[in-house]
Amino acid sequence: MEYSAEQHMGSVKVRAIRKSLLFGLITTILSQPCLASEAKDNNPEYYENGLVLWREPLIELEFVWLEGGCFPMGQSVPEKRTLIEEAGELKYREFYADELPQHQACVDGFWMARQETTRHQWQQLMATVPFLADLPGNHPATNISWLMAMDFIVVLNGIADENFRLPTEAEMEYAIRAGSETPFHTGKTISTGQANYNGIHTYGSGQKGTYLQKTSPGRSYPANRFGLFDMHGNVWEWCSDWYAKDYYEESPVDNPRGPETGKNKIMRGGSWFTAPRSVRSANRRGLQPDIALEDSGFRLIANRSPPQPKTPPSSKDQKVAYDPDF
């Protein structure tokens, strides 16, 4: 259906405020107006294994600071060959040709949630249960449309001391790649010991694995080099960009934000339901913003100032940017 983000924001705010007023969290914040600022003051950035972290105090969501940089965005020549071999020419043109041409993209630094928004966090803020399966609260929130994700952000921004948003498509691929130029941040292929996807299928030289047929709890698999979990698989994650199949032909280098208008919104990362070729770093998908799927969710970006420089330690290892074990 046709949709205008600007036209929708007014109704989003009305619905979000009505929902938030039903939940005790809002009452608590309104009755103690200094609570959010005090939480911020008592909740500074901290360092762990070379990562700069910050925890949002209201819904207990942890963010990691990602230094900006440039990277090859899109599908490589070897990926194209593998995809055509595995999917065939017709499916390739229908599902994967929009990842071309590969081009340089550069993004500024940003704070990204280390994991997908969970069921517990959704219910804590929205007091609704859109999820279809009866799973624990540490699983990602699913059956979430782009509009529902925007509802969540409006409510959170109304009570938090920081502002939040969805990532751009470029920020998402930068985060998924975590410095890699291979199809996956794990290398040329991936296994079901590294991510939750449909292990009945393989990619490249990969082996068949398990097929859970459902989400897995956040942080069930190893993080990538940037300290982010489930960047491949588990649930599709919404981005802020409108989708256009040929956008890469005209995409700017610096901080691309997608077309100005469109019918579909970008989703990235693949899910527990998809084959490994759909959880690749370059894979992109467009879906109507009002559609919610059993394998669709989201993660947040915090519009927080860059971290203050840490006092240089005396150790000779002070220049290590990321934990080498990630």
pLDDT, residue 311, reads 58
pLDDT, residue 123, reads 97
**Domain of 138, in residue numbers:** 5-300
> Measured in whole angstroms, how far is the alpha carbon of residue 8 from the centre of its chain?
22
Q: Within a domain: residue 296?
A: yes
The single-letter DSSP state of residue 93 is I
Q: Within a domain: residue 312?
A: no
CA distance 302 to 304: 5
Q: Within a domain: residue 306?
A: no
> Smallest Cα–Cα separation from 165: which of 153, 182, 180?
153
The separation between the first and the last C-alpha atoms of the chain, rounded to the nearest angstrom, is 42
Q: Within a domain: residue 313?
A: no
Residues 117, 137: contact at Cβ < 8 Å? no
Cis peptide before 101 (omega within 30 of 0): yes
Mean pLDDT over each residue of the chain, to the nearest integer: 87
Q: Within a domain: residue 279?
A: yes
The mean-pLDDT minimum among 12-16, 85-89, 123-127 falls in: 12-16
Q: Is the pLDDT of residue 130 over 70?
A: yes
* Angstrom distances, CA of residue 313 to CA of 241, 300, 322: 40, 31, 15
Give 75's pLDDT tier (boundaries 50, 70, 90). very high
Which CATH number does the domain housing residue 229 bear? 3.90.1580.10
Q: What is the full DSSP assignment across 229-262?
A: S-SSBSSEEEEEEEP-TTGGGT--SBS----S--
Give 310's pLDDT tier (boundaries 50, 70, 90). low
Q: Within a domain: residue 265?
A: yes
pLDDT, residue 29, reads 40
Contacts of 45 (CB under 8 A, 6+ apart): 52, 53, 54, 65, 307, 308
Q: Within a domain: residue 318?
A: no
CA distance 146 to 179: 28
CA distance 97 to 156: 37
pLDDT, residue 322, reads 39
* Angstrom distances, CA of residue 289 to CA of 6, 56, 149, 155, 306: 13, 26, 10, 18, 30
Q: Is the pLDDT of residue 208 over 90?
A: yes
Q: What is the pLDDT of residues 149-203, one digit of tens each?
A: 999 999 999 999 999 999 999 999 999 999 999 999 999 999 999 999 999 999 9
Q: Within a domain: residue 309?
A: no
pLDDT, residue 133, reads 85
Q: Is the pLDDT of residue 324 over 60?
A: no
Is the pTM higher than 0.75? The answer reads yes
Q: Report phi then psi at 105, rounded to 5.
A: -130, 145
Give 37's pLDDT tier (boundaries 50, 70, 90). very low
- Per-residue pLDDT, averaged over 287-304, amounts to 98
Number of domains forming the structure of the chain: 1
The mean-pLDDT minimum among 10-24, 183-197, 251-265, 289-303 falls in: 10-24
pLDDT, residue 309, reads 78
- Per-residue pLDDT, averaged over 18-34, amounts to 42
% the chain with pLDDT above 90: 80
